[in-house]
């Protein structure tokens, strides 16, 4: 049965925002109290701080400390409501948002449904590799890493044990770099004490990058610094190395060589979320929806697309799929709606790039912000401060800060419990890889 859902006064103009991520959150905040009804729709009931997912996957943070309940965010914002639902499509002509369990009328629509992992059609990789896009992915990867050490500790065959203790991370962007560093620290500082029966010299972490450098958004000096620091930590950084596919117990390289492993972490590609593909709008590279200078879709200036879902070119280059782009676009779309309602002109969207950064490990990071290049400890402090600032919720900030402080002084990563329970009696044998989860 289809339900038509009404909030507030039916004659009040309504903006519906799809997605409570970085773009949607900023848009909703900017529209609060502006004489309009706002409804934010998300399939999840929380805002997720994706840049810290790798810390959940490396046992540094509890999952809940990087997520914040959506209703807790919007409840103090005037005339902003939250609706948990999966959006299945849009009736553009009838101005109706189609939900899995109903529909919502809108006057303005802001599509901010984000991105998804891009395996570039490599089905074997999709089946066998872990990805880091949602909380469940991060928790599953963390469970798998701890489980793998448990299995290795009971494995007498040295060849099988080495395969279990080999971790392959594909993609040398910020997520790959940050996860490689964090995993190495987990192994060196925690697992080396947790598993006295294992020789940690048998563990390998490989970071594979298809291009000739890590962290493509940063200057060459910082790219070299990053590769050097990771190698200094014992991580094998293989540049100009393409992967061809994966099996349950190996990753296959483009040249035909393979690396025996039970852990492949894929951080090599992003694309627009699946919703972008079902809207009937034109799509460009990575499935993103091209929008005009005011971020609206061609032929409908009441529909905005922002963040990872949108393709916006600036100075001849597509804007990257990063949080600051989504936040600035969300705010711009909201301001544009308000100005249009007041009969005012709107200047085209222009992204102000404040730079980028990545952490490599405890006390070391790289940053290129406002034209200033930083590496090592100062960059790490800048990274910590920025991430704390953008994390939503005082409690989350406090919990994360305490965790970081604890780790800094005691080198202890606390979250090493395997939360996926094994049945009391073993279930029938069968493959249970990342894809099935």
Ligand X SMILES: Cc1cc2nc3c(=O)[nH]c(=O)nc-3n(C[C@H](O)[C@H](O)[C@H](O)COP(=O)(O)OP(=O)(O)OC[C@H]3O[C@@H](n4cnc5c(N)ncnc54)[C@H](O)[C@@H]3O)c2cc1C
* Active site positions, annotated: 178
Task: State which residue, 152 or 306, has the beta carbon closest to ligand X.
Answer: 306
Residue from the set 104, 112, 268, 334 that interacts with ligand X by CB under 6 A: 112
114 lines the binding site for ligand X (CB under 6 A): yes
Does residue 68 contact residue 46 with C-beta atoms inside 8 Å? yes
**In this structure, what token pair is assigned to residue 178?**
């940050």
For 175, left (φ over 0), alpha (ψ -120 to 50), or beta?
alpha
Of 64, 66, 82, whose CA–CA distance to 74 is shortest? 82
Picking from 195, 204, 183, 171, the residue whose alpha carbon sits closest to that of residue 60 is 183
- Looking at beta carbons only, is 42 or 103 nearer to ligand X? 42
Binding flag, residue 56, ligand X (CB under 6 A): no
By CB under 6 A, which span of 109-117, 121-129, 139-147, 252-260 interacts with ligand X?
109-117
Closer to ligand X by Cβ: residue 321 or 379: 321
CB of 291 to ligand X, least distance (A): 13
Q: Does 326 bind ligand X (CB under 6 A)?
A: yes
Q: Are 356 and 178 in contact (CB under 8 A)?
A: no
Question: Which is closer to ligand X, CB of 36 or CB of 305?
Answer: 305
- Give least dist CB 65 to ligand X, A: 15
> Looking at beta carbons only, is 175 or 364 nearer to ligand X?
175
Is 125 among the residues that bind ligand X (CB under 6 A)?
Answer: no
Q: Which stretch binds ligand X (CB under 6 A): 2-10, 211-219, 286-294, 307-315?
A: 307-315
Q: Binding segment for ligand X among 28-36, 214-222, 322-330, 371-379 (CB under 6 A)? A: 322-330
Q: How far is it, in rounded angstroms, from Cα 415 to Cα 108?
A: 43
CB-based contact 113:18 (threshold 8 Å): yes
Among 14, 37, 42, 297, binds ligand X (CB under 6 A): 42
Cα diameter, the chain: 75
Q: DSSP states of 209-263 as a string? A: -SSSSS-TTS-HHHHHHHHHHHHHTT-EEE-S--EEEEETTEEEETTS-EEE-SE
Which string of b and e fits 81-94 if b means at least 16 CB within 10 Å?
bbbbbebeebebee
Q: Is 87 in the site for ligand X (CB under 6 A)?
A: yes
**Contact flag: residue 392 with ligand X (CB under 6 A):** no
Label residues 388-418 b or e (16+ Cβ within 10 Å = b). eeebbbeebbebbeebbeebeeeeebebbee
Q: Which is nearer to ligand X, 23 or 393 (CB)?
A: 23
Q: What is the DSSP letter of 49?
A: -
Host H or E run for residue 25: helix 22-31
Closer CB to ligand X, residue 190 or residue 331? Answer: 331
- State the nearest-atom distance from the C-beta of 64 to ligand X, in Å: 15
Contacts (Cβ under 8 Å, ≥6 apart) of 69? 45, 46
Q: Which is nearer to ligand X, 102 or 324 (CB)?
A: 324
Q: How far is the CB of 391 from ligand X (least distance, A)?
A: 12
Query: Interface with ligand X by CB under 6 A: which range of 153-161, 206-214, 228-236, 318-326?
Result: 318-326
Least CB distance from residue 416 to ligand X, whole Å?
A: 20
CB 43 to ligand X: min, Å: 4
- Asked if 130 is part of the footprint of ligand X (rule: CB under 6 A), the reply reads no
312 binds ligand X, rule: CB under 6 A: no
188 binds ligand X (CB under 6 A): no
Cβ atoms of 296 and 302 within 8 Å: the answer is yes
Give the footprint of ligand X on residues 6-25 (CB under 6 A).
18-24
With binding defined as CB under 6 A, does residue 132 bind ligand X? yes
Q: Which stretch binds ligand X (CB under 6 A): 154-162, 306-314, 331-339, 361-369?
A: 306-314
Q: Is 174 in the site for ligand X (CB under 6 A)?
A: yes
Give dist(CA 308, CA 116) in Å, integer. Answer: 9
| Dist CA 114 CA 416 (whole Å) | 30
Question: Nearest distance from residue 386's CB to ligand X, in Å?
Answer: 9
One-character DSSP codes across 75-126: TTSTTEEEEE--EEEEETTTTEEEETTEEEE-SEEEE---EEE--TT-HHHH
Interaction site with ligand X (CB under 6 A): 18-24, 41-44, 50-51, 53-54, 86-87, 112-115, 132-133, 174-175, 273, 275, 307-309, 321-324, 326
């Amino acid at each position: 049965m289809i339900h038509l859902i009404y909030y507030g006064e039916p004659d009040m103009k309504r903006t519906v925002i799809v997605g409570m991520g970085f773009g949607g959150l900023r848009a909703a905040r900017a529209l609060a109290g502006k004489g309009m009804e706002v409804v934010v729709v998300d399939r999840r009931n929380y805002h997720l701080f994706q840049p810290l997912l790798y810390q959940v996957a490396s046992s540094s943070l509890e999952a809940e400390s990087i997520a914040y309940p959506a209703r807790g965010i919007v409840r103090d914002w005037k005339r902003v409501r939250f609706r948990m639902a999966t959006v299945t499509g849009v009736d553009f002509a009838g101005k109706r948002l189609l939900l899995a369990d109903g529909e919502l009328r809108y006057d303005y629509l802001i599509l901010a449904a984000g991105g998804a992992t891009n395996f570039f059609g490599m089905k074997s990789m999709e089946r066998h590799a872990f990805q880091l896009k949602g909380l469940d992915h991060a928790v599953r990867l963390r469970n798998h890493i701890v489980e793998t050490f448990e299995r290795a500790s009971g494995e007498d065959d040295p060849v099988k044990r080495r395969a279990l203790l080999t971790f392959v991370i594909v993609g040398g962007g910020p997520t790959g770099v940050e996860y490689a560093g964090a995993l190495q620290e987990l192994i060196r500082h925690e697992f080396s004490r947790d598993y006295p029966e294992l020789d940690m010299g048998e563990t390998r972490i490989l970071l594979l990058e298809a291009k000739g450098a890590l962290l493509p958004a940063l200057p060459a000096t910082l790219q070299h610094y990053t590769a050097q620091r990771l190698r200094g930590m014992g991580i094998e950084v293989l540049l100009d190395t393409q992967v061809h596919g994966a099996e349950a117990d190996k990753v296959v390289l483009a040249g035909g060589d393979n690396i025996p492993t039970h852990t492949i972490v894929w951080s090599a590609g992003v694309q627009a979320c699946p919703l972008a593909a079902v809207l009937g709008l034109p799509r460009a590279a990575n499935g993103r929806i091209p929008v005009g200078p005011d971020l609206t879709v061609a032929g409908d200036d009441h529909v905005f697309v922002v963040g990872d879902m949108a393709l916006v070119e600036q100075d001849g280059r597509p804007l990257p799929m990063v949080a600051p782009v989504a936040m600035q676009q969300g705010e711009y779309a909201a301001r544009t709606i308000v100005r249009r309602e007041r009969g005012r002109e709107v200047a085209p969207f222009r992204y102000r790039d404040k730079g980028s950064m990545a952490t490599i490990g405890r006390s070391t990071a790289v940053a290129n912000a406002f034209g200033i290049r930083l590496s090592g400890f100062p960059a790490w402090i800048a990274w910590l401060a920025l991430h704390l600032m953008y994390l939503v919720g005082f409690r989350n900030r406090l919990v994360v800060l305490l965790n970081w402080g604890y780790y800094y002084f005691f080198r202890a990563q606390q979250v090493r419990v395997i939360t996926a329970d094994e049945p009391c009696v073993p279930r029938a044998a069968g493959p249970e890889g990342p894809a099935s989860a």
